[in-house]
Amino acid sequence: MLAWAIAIFAVAAVLGSVMWLKPSPAQQRQTRMRLLARQYGLDVRLVTLPQTRRNRVRQEATEQGVVYRLLRFDIVTPLPHDYLWVRENSEGVWEQVPELALTNAIQKVIDDVLVQMPRDVVAVELTPHGPGVYWRERGDEQTLKKLRELMEKLLQALSTR
């Protein structure tokens, strides 16, 4: 009888360890999203999410998230600087860092794109190599598709400047 109890305990311990190593449903969803993003041609990186000036001044805790970038290295006249638009929450106003002027055509496209961004997007960047979106990955495949389309609009605006 004691041998059976020890055997059952050993099997339970092994099964418990295996189940502990199995990714949770949320982790499986994130993996699927990131693989789909790669199929869409997006570069996926884990990062510390940018903060608004107010959050930096208050020295609020930083939050981990992801940046999805649509990188292009064939842009003929890249931007001279990196541009970043950050918002504190989904209803917040977009804050540009640094406050450098862009051409009217690019600014119009950016204003249009920022209004359409999903709620969990924290920041949008424009770099010499293309646009990027910092977000918390709370969306689904449709959200990812929309992000890709919006980044494509930004990339087209950069290409025609």
Residue-wise pLDDT for 50-78, tens only, equals: 887 877 788 888 888 899 999 887 666 66
pTM of the model: 0.80
Average pLDDT of the residues in 16-45: 86
Contact 12, 4 (CB under 8 A): no
Q: How many domains does the chain have?
A: 1
Domain hosting 40: range is 2-159
Record the tokens describing residue 43, joined without a space: 């570069």
CB atoms within 10 A of CB 134: 24
pLDDT in tens, 76-129: 666 667 888 998 877 788 888 877 777 888 889 989 999 999 988 999 998 888
- DSSP string of 98-146? S-----HHHHHHHHHHHHHS-TTEEEEEEETTEEEEEE---S-HHHHHH
Cα 16 from Cα 72, distance rounded (Å): 46
